[in-house]
Structure 1
Amino acid sequence: MPSSRDLIRPPVHKVLTKLTLPMILGIIAVLSVSLIDTYFVSQLGTEHLAALSFSFPVTMSISSLAIGLGVGAASAVSRAVGANNKEQAKRLSTDSLLLGIAVVMVVAVVGYLYVEPLLSLLGASNEVLALGARYMRIWFISVPFLVVPMIANALIRSVGDAFWPSLVMIGSALINIISTPILIFGWGVIPAFNIEGAALGTLFAQVLTLFASLAILIIRERLLSFHLPSQGDLIASWRTLLSIAVPAAAGNMVNPLCIAIVTAIIAWFGEKSVAAFGLATRIEFFAVIPMLALSSAIGPLAGQNWGANQVQRVIEGLKISYWVCIVWAAVLSVLLWFAAPSIITAFSSDSEVTNEALLYLRIIPISVWGYGIVIVAAAAFNSIGKAKVGLGYYIVRSAIFYVPLSWLGAIYTQIDYVFIGIALANVLSGLAIGFYSIWWLKRLHRLNLLA
């Protein structure tokens, strides 16, 4: 009988369901933190909300770097597990955490020192720039506590366990949600930290997450080795990991970097438009949770089956995932058409901000299936060791379609044309990548059969 973590023999749809459902809850918890931060910061004023919106592309870029490192680790480890090489899986897991620590310390220091020039480059100025810098300095201190748990959780998922990573994510989110309003507005002897309180709440939750995820990795999964490798073995291991992690991290950073460019484009319309865009995209990220969970689930499935030379199961997993994205986008567009006004007004009372945010959520949701196909396809190709192809998918969607079409929309000096450009980018990239990814895998499968 297959074990509960076997991803090679059970029906593909059951494997995807087993891996996706826990991650939906975990991702809901994580993204709810962003919404909660946005809600409470918005109570401080429009300038505070705009400052948080300018920080969003930066925080997403760093988070994407962490995701990329985790993807590289999970890709190598899942394929080692699929090939039944347990010792190699343990060695790669350990070395990936060492690599993550080395990289993140550099990023945290550089980000802390250059936070104001970075936010200025995005278009922040005056009071908004000062508020954003206050928030981001504390956030950069928390970066090491963000990255290491993300890599650890990716490693746990790579062996077919989605329950414990999602439980850690939920616990971290609950701590963050409880502590954030207390730290922003003050409570009892705890002073009000203003916008810095949102960053402090994140820091506190991530410190606890670090210890929880490492405990699971060491005690339950036994995926870490406490024997230091030789310098040659460590370099060889890091080379293997970086061959996936670098393009995977670059791919995950393409989207937030392009969001940063589009944020700068939208800044042409004023700070209220930036606030509206930041609010709407946070709600959008929350709404596409099932597709984000699918992208987390397809990785272990694709990696282990690729390691076991089961290419047809990878193809089947992608097809199922693509149809789920299409169905969810249809459901989502209906839900947000009716619910968006109530959701938006809970975050802002400024009529210009709410009207533009509502316009975004009326135009974009029907097209998000294309974005879902892109992230699912990229996750699958990263996991099978084809991270450069996964990077290409992100470049096609974000750099070739998303930014140029948004810029063309802005030329008409109306914000709704920018949103239409974003929707077209989702549709065109989804069609192109959806068909190409299946064709590529089928072609490879036929070649393997002929061989």
Structure 2
Amino acid sequence: MKRPDVLHDPVGPALVRLVIPMVAGALGIVLFNVVDTFFVGRLGALELAAMSYTFPIVIVAGSIASGLGVGASACVSRAYGAGDLPQARRLTLHAHLLSLAVILVLAALGLVTIKPFFTFLGAEEKLLGLIGDYMFVWYLGMPFMMLPMVGQNILQALGDSKTPSAVIVFSVVLNMVLDPLLIFGAGPVPALGIQGAAIATVIARGSTMVAVLWILGSSRKMFPHRAERSGFLISSRRILFVGLPASLTNLALPISMGVVTRLISPFGAEAIAGFGVATRLESFSLVFTMALAMVFTPFVGQNLGAGKVHRAREGYRVAVILSLVWGVVVALVFGVAGRPIAGIFTDTGEVVVATTGYLRTLAPTFGLLGVVMVTSAAFNGLHRPFAAAAVAFMRLVGLYLPLALIGRSLGGLQGLFWGLAGANGIAGVAAVLIFRRASRTFPVPNKRKCNDDRVFCSPRNPGKSLFSIGDCGKL
């Protein structure tokens, strides 16, 4: 299939052709940790518990890397859409250097705080050795695991969703092969236990780093010549302008999920287990919407750079429709087959009931949850990161947690689920209204420059840049 022309192809078909390959990549992201958990679980309860303690660090590091990737994608796509290839190349190099610096600092801090940090989290002495075995390798391999996320986002910024998806799928398959080999051993390969899982993860993710860097450098020629490498601080400021709010938004989700888990805990272990199964099924059901949000930021960014703001508006309308249609399909599936699907994961009646109650209550709102994700992606592409963060935090902090608490007080566990569903629904509608209101002040092409980069200025205030730090200046 020919790569879609983000700037000229009809908006609907272009978005669909971007999303379809990315679905496999989004599914691979979801599956990666599932595979590790499956094989480590075969070692025993202690190893599985030790790995569970590492998830907060994995989520935090992934959220930071993903946020930096979103910042890089927003900046590179805008420069690429404007036809400024030297600037796009410069941003590509600087995004990797900035990310590497951040990752090395995090890894160094992690290596010297393994025991005290996990002791603080409540890990027992018998688990600390296992956690140390895993995290020592994981921290050393952090650059190999985090940098590919930035490179994959930059490939998407260039309108290429096939390559990042293929690379992710390859890493998942490689991890599936390496996990049992290194964890349990075979032939001359010794059984390394939980440390083998960490090594497998580093090797699998590291393979994606090599592939992505080679593609960016050799195939796409996206690393600059010596004369184009200056301006690291300016590039870093632009990337962080979008990347920092995106990282904080990514971190808000697991924190909110932790609070909701605490709210469910008084209903017993079966309710917690049902919630856990349901949220994992929710993650799988949102793979299409996740892929849509991943490609939508660079779609908007490229068209913004090219001055085709009308395509950004049309793209948003198409993305909302796609999300809602997908939500209807998911709601029908869980509405009809929610109980049998839950039964695949457990035969405990109370767990099945909790899982089914969650899915049947919330699934009709998954389409609107997708609208929230798409709206945040659109604002990131428009270089309005605080608007993107506001939309996400409106749902998580302003609606998700308060309505869960109110629902629990009124209707117990099922009431809590209704509160979560209400949060998704209200947030989805509000996101559309916010975007429509913001679209009245969308930028217009303006022959002005700011910080040596093309910008677009507010029609209400032509002297003020909407998407760069600082004011517009005359050429």
**Other-structure match for 2:442:** 444
**Other-structure match for 2:61:** 62
Contact 1:82 1:308 in 2 (8 A): yes
Answer yes or no: is 1:87 the counterpart of 2:94.
no
Deviations 1:415-446 (A, max 9, x none): 43333332222111111112211231144379
Answer yes or no: is 1:221 the counterpart of 2:220.
yes
More deviation in 197-206 or 129-138? 129-138
Contact 1:122 1:261 in 2 (8 A): no
Q: 1:166 to 1:364 in 2, by over 3 A?
A: same
Q: Report the Cα offset of residue 141 of structure 1.
A: 3.8
Aligned-partner Cα distance in 1 for 2:50–2:411: 23
More deviation in 72-81 or 237-246? 237-246
Q: 1:320 to 1:177 in 2, by over 3 A?
A: same
Q: 1:230 to 1:295 in 2, by over 3 A?
A: closer
Contact 2:90 2:229 in 1 (8 A): no
Q: Report the Cα offset of residue 258 of structure 1.
A: 2.0
Alignment of 1:132-151 (within 5 A): 135-136=134-135, 138-151=137-150
Deviations 1:102-140 (A, max 9, x none): 111222233444456666777777878886676555444
**Other-structure match for 1:35:** 34
Of structures 1 and 2, the larger Rg is shown by 2
Aligned-partner Cα distance in 1 for 2:354–2:192: 30
Q: 1:386 to 1:356 in 2, by over 3 A?
A: same
Aligned-partner Cα distance in 1 for 2:50–2:268: 13
Alignment of 1:273-312 (within 5 A): 273-312=271-310
**Other-structure match for 1:383:** 381
Q: Report the Cα offset of residue 172 of structure 1.
A: 0.7
Q: Report the Cα offset of residue 387 of structure 1.
A: 0.9
Answer yes or no: is 1:432 the counterpart of 2:430.
yes
Aligned-partner Cα distance in 2 for 1:47–1:269: 25
Question: 3-state DSSP class of the match of 2:442?
Answer: helix
Deviations 1:39-61 (A, max 9, x none): 44455567766665565454233
Aligned-partner Cα distance in 1 for 2:268–2:320: 37
Identity of matched residues, %: 33
Aligned-partner Cα distance in 2 for 1:120–1:354: 34
**Other-structure match for 1:13:** 12
Code of the aligned partner of 2:30: L
Q: Report the Cα offset of residue 377 of structure 1.
A: 0.9
**Other-structure match for 1:100:** 99
Aligned-partner Cα distance in 2 for 1:423–1:49: 31
Contact 2:403 2:416 in 1 (8 A): yes
**Other-structure match for 1:243:** 241
More deviation in 119-128 or 273-282? 119-128
Q: 1:76 to 1:426 in 2, by over 3 A?
A: same
Q: Report the Cα offset of residue 385 of structure 1.
A: 0.9
Q: Report the Cα offset of residue 10 of structure 1.
A: 1.4
Selected match of 1:397 from 395, 400, 403: 395
Give ranges in structure 2 of 5+ residues lacking alignment. Answer: 445-457, 463-475
Answer yes or no: is 1:209 the counterpart of 2:212.
no
Q: 1:396 to 1:245 in 2, by over 3 A?
A: same
Contact 1:58 1:256 in 2 (8 A): no
Question: 3-state DSSP class of the match of 1:321?
Answer: helix
Aligned-partner Cα distance in 1 for 2:227–2:347: 57
Selected match of 1:373 from 368, 371, 374: 371
More deviation in 124-133 or 369-378? 124-133
TM-score by length of 1: 0.87
More deviation in 329-338 or 179-188? 179-188
Selected match of 1:322 from 320, 323, 336: 320
Aligned-partner Cα distance in 1 for 2:461–2:213: 45
Aligned-partner Cα distance in 1 for 2:437–2:89: 34
Aligned-partner Cα distance in 1 for 2:10–2:278: 37
Aligned-partner Cα distance in 1 for 2:332–2:376: 27
Q: Report the Cα offset of residue 13 of structure 1.
A: 0.5
Aligned-partner Cα distance in 2 for 1:336–1:10: 35
Question: 3-state DSSP class of the match of 1:223?
Answer: coil
TM-score by length of 2: 0.83
More deviation in 372-381 or 248-257? 248-257
Q: Report the Cα offset of residue 413 of structure 1.
A: 9.3
Q: 1:354 to 1:269 in 2, by over 3 A?
A: same
Q: 1:333 to 1:5 in 2, by over 3 A?
A: closer
**Other-structure match for 1:162:** 161
Aligned-partner Cα distance in 2 for 1:123–1:407: 26
Higher helix share: 1
Q: 1:59 to 1:268 in 2, by over 3 A?
A: farther
Aligned-partner Cα distance in 2 for 1:400–1:343: 32
Aligned-partner Cα distance in 2 for 1:381–1:250: 15
Give ranges in structure 1 of 5+ residues lacking alignment. Answer: none
Q: 1:5 to 1:177 in 2, by over 3 A?
A: same
Aligned-partner Cα distance in 2 for 1:50–1:361: 27
Aligned-partner Cα distance in 2 for 1:346–1:48: 24
Aligned-partner Cα distance in 1 for 2:340–2:392: 33
Deviations 1:225-251 (A, max 9, x none): 2538777x2112211211111112222
Aligned-partner Cα distance in 1 for 2:227–2:143: 21
More deviation in 24-33 or 331-340? 331-340
Alignment of 1:65-76 (within 5 A): 65-76=64-75
Code of the aligned partner of 1:303: G
Aligned-partner Cα distance in 1 for 2:5–2:255: 37
**Other-structure match for 2:470:** none
Code of the aligned partner of 2:90: R
**Other-structure match for 2:420:** 422
Aligned-partner Cα distance in 2 for 1:128–1:283: 29
Aligned-partner Cα distance in 2 for 1:306–1:445: 8
